[in-house]
Structure 1
Amino acid sequence: MTMQQQDLRRAAAAMPGAGTGAPAARATIRASDLPLAVSAGRPAALALILRTEGASYRPVGATMVLGRDGAVAGTLSSGCIDADIAEHAKAVARAGGLRRLRYGAGSPFIDLTLPCGGGLDILVLPAPSADVLADLRARLASREPFSLAVSGAGLSVAPDTGAELVLRVLPDPRFAVFGKGPEAVAFARMVAGAGYETVLASPDSETLAPLAGRGATVVHLPQPSAVEQVALDAFTAGVLFFHDHDWEPAILCHLLASRAFYVGAQGSRRTAENRLARLRAAGVAEADLARLRGPIGVIPSTRDARTLAASVLAEVLAEAVVAG
């Protein structure tokens, strides 16, 4: 432990609300709740939610990052206290140390209210060291879950007996969209517009054109086997929007053999039954076929591309909560 960390630990112990020897609280967040990758530079300070009481707009562990240029990434409320938290973060960035803030019930800031009620405990810390920051960014980029200990001494990916909070950090859902036509375009536009990492893969240049350079990665598929160009992991949803179903078997075999948490394909119930028959004939195991969704979406039998996109997105995100 560095001298700076020791000083921070002593300062934390001297402050109201500091660690009482109780076991660390635990929570799960997504990578986007820890926006350390938004800037190539080193942040100046961090503020994160340690505890909530009652209703809360953001989860325990959600983090605000103050950049050295004064820019702020992340939010800890619906906007009612973020500006004040940012001012405290600037003070910590200038003077060092740390601050513990209470908003809502029991707060000394009686002029700053939480419309949702309840209370928030916020911990404001100086930026992590360059080594810790590089490690965290590498872990976020790897799209693998990891644990993060939070204490008055800062953030640590190593076990910390002084931790007040241990976070399980999960990658954000990513979407691999395969298809041709307006349904594939509408869905890719919707998920990319919502800020999710999106890949649109298609044999059709007219399908790819609306998304090129507009928040999605586009991949041309000259043949179905080219699906191997698209990276997949346990936090990726693979969704097919083909009317030419001859493209589906090779792509679905690849998706079902991957760790993708969701695999689904557009089509009617009859189309879904025919699809399963073709995959069985191709030797796909029943356990893998059980993972395949079809028909897809929470709204049955919709024929509007935008409604279908919203319907499928709702189904995928519900599955993402379970997968997390």
Structure 2
Amino acid sequence: MIEDDVIADADWPLFGWSDDVRPMLARALAAGRPAALATLYKVEGSAPRGPGAQMLFDGRQASGYFSGDCIEGDVARHAAEVLADGAPRRLHYGMGSPWIDIRLRCGGALHVLLERIDLDSPAAQALLENARERRPCLWSTDGTDQQVLVGDDAPLLSLTQDPLRIERRYDPPRRLIVSGGDPGALALAQLAAEAQFETLLLRPGGPEGPSPFSKVTYLRGEPSALLPEIGVDRWTAYVGATHEDHHDLGGCLHALRHGAGYVAMIGAKSRAPARLAALAAAGATAEELARLHLSPGIAGLGKAPWEVAVGILAEIMQALNPTRERA
């Protein structure tokens, strides 16, 4: 998520870190600024981003990227025009483009739809409400007629031509819930937050004061009690990292039973049989237990907290990615 004080700076394009335009859209509309939404709807040949990638502009900030510096400045220029007159644009870069002075280093061609999102847009409000309620949906648009539709199992992007209309799927934001308070658990929470996950850190009996992580929601209490309140879905990962079974087993059981996209417990491999037996005794099915990651992460990265965190987060991204990138 781009912070409020980060502006679109071509010298330091931190805006490209964000892969979800909804947080910036919410901020722009709340501040009384309409936005220009750019959607990459067709790619020919090689390109850094695939169809469905998006950028957002509100006259002050930008979010997302398409090419890594080849066309972003020109898209921003057209976005300013869309914000000014409200008319959508269809942009074509690369092979066959009318702009011979803009070349793509990777070859190929990119096709982009630019549309204005007004302050009173019912579709924009529905899009943001679905995100808050963690419901998948489709943004359906021809550049002028904007609608939000139910879209649980739709591809990431689909389109019809002549006239052009695109449908872009939005899933709930990826979320990681970590229980624990040792350096490894803290490193995992901090790294996930920086990687654009909604991140919650649960510490049974933890400190009463605030956590040192501004982007991490800190909650004191038992995972088994907190997870039903937070809610778990297939876009959620849960990692039990207290190293205490009486804390982590209940959280894992709830996450498995409610369809979390990734569930893990940190600990020595020698503890796995006892943990599996305890979960089975508590009612976990064989199918649920098969989805549990014990001693999670990528082997060979090292044992230091950041090394362990990188390995686990990579495994989480891999597990959640097929849900996000069906296309």
Taking structure 2 as the reference length, the TM-score comes to 0.80
CA gap 1:74/1:274 in 2 versus in 1, 3 angstroms: same
Q: 1:267 corresponds to which letter in structure 2?
A: G
Cα deviation for residue 126 of structure 1 reads 2.4
- Tell me the CA shift for residue 285 of structure 1: 1.9
Unaligned regions of 5+ residues in structure 1, if any? 1-29
Q: Does the CA-based 8 Å contact 2:48-2:68 persist in structure 1?
A: yes
Other-structure match for 1:276: 276
Contact 2:36 2:82 (C-alpha < 8 Å) held by counterparts? yes
Greater shift after overlay, 186-195 or 39-48?
39-48
Alignment partner for residue 136 of structure 1, among 114, 127, 130?
127
Q: How far apart in 1 are the matches of 2:198 and 2:223?
A: 24
1:120 aligned partner, one-letter code: L
Q: Secondary structure at the match of 1:59?
A: coil
Map 1:265-304 to 2 at 5 A: 265-299=265-299, 302-304=302-304
AA at the equivalent of 2:139: L
Matched ranges for 1:92-171 at <5 A: 92-128=82-118, 129-158=120-149, 164-171=165-172
SS of the counterpart of 2:68? Answer: coil
Separation in structure 2 between the aligned mates of residue 48 and residue 321 of structure 1, nearest angstrom = 20
Does residue 37 of structure 1 match 2:38?
Answer: no
Say if 1:213 and 1:260 are closer, same or farther in 2 by CA, change over 3 A: same
Look up the equivalent residue of 1:118 and give its one-letter code.
Answer: G
In the other structure, the counterpart of 1:5 is: none
The Cα shift of 1:212 comes to 4.2
Unaligned runs of 5+ in 2: 1-17, 151-158
Shift of 1:312: 0.6
Larger radius of gyration: 1
Contact 1:45 1:93 in 2 (8 A): yes
Question: In 1, are the aligned partners of 2:223 and 2:251 still within 8 Å (CA)?
Answer: no
Residue 3 of structure 1 aligns with which residue?
Answer: none
CA distance 1:181–1:292, shift in 2 (3 Å): same
Secondary structure at the residue paired with 1:100?
strand
The 2-side partners of 1:241 and 1:300 are apart by 20
**Aligned 1:1-324 pairs, distance under 5 A:** 32-33=20-21, 36-39=25-28, 40=30, 41-67=32-58, 69-128=59-118, 129-158=120-149, 164-205=165-206, 211-221=211-221, 225-299=225-299, 302-324=302-324
**What's the TM-score, normalizing by structure 1?**
0.81
Q: Is the Cα–Cα contact under 8 Å of residues 31 and 140 in structure 1 kept in the other structure?
A: no
Question: What is the CA-CA distance between 1:204 and the residue it aligns to?
Answer: 4.9
Instruction: Name the aligned partner's letter for residue 20 of structure 2.
Output: S
* Distance (whole Å) between structure 2 residues aligned to residue 149 and residue 311 of structure 1: 37
SS in 1 for 2:254: helix
8 Å contact from structure 1 (residues 33, 61) kept in 2: no
What residue number does 2:5 align with?
Answer: none
User: Counterpart of 1:282 in structure 2: which amino acid?
Assistant: A
- 3-state SS of the aligned residue for 2:141? strand
CA deviation profile, 1:182-215 (whole Å, cap 9, x unmatched): 1110100110122211000012536x97844520
**Aligned-pair distance for 1:270?**
1.4
- Partners of 2:49 and 2:123 in 1: CA distance: 25
Pick closer, same or farther for the CA change 1:42–1:133 going to 2, 3 Å.
Answer: farther
Task: Tell me the SS of whatever aligns to 1:201.
Answer: strand
Q: Take 1:185 and 1:252, find their aligned partners in 2: how far apart are those partners?
A: 19
Deviation at 1:297, TM superposition (A): 0.9
What secondary structure sits across from 2:275 in the alignment? helix
AA aligned opposite 2:72 = D
Local SS of the residue matching 1:36: helix
Tell me by how many angstroms 1:31 deviates.
Answer: 7.5
8 A contact 1:212–1:218 mirrored in 2: no
Q: Kindly provide the CA deviation profile for residues 34-93 of structure 1, in whole angstroms up to 9, marking residues without a partner as x.
A: 5533432342422221211122222312222222x4332332331221121111111122
Whose relative contact order is higher, 1 or 2, with alpha carbons under 8 Å and at least 6 apart?
1
What SS class does the counterpart of residue 26 from structure 2 fall into? coil
Q: Distance in 2 between matches of 1:290 and 1:233?
A: 18
Change (3 A) 1:158 1:191: closer
Q: 1:81 to 1:275 in 2, by over 3 A?
A: same
* Alpha-carbon RMSD: 2.7
Q: Does the aligned pair in 2 maintain the 1:98–1:125 contact within 8 Å? A: yes
The answer to whether the Cα contact below 8 Å between 2:179 and 2:223 also exists between their aligned partners in 1 is no
CA shift for structure 1 position 105? 1.4
| Whole-angstrom distance in 2 between the partners of 1:301 and 1:59 | 30
Post-superposition shift, 1:239?
0.7
Q: Which amino acid aligns with 1:127?
A: I
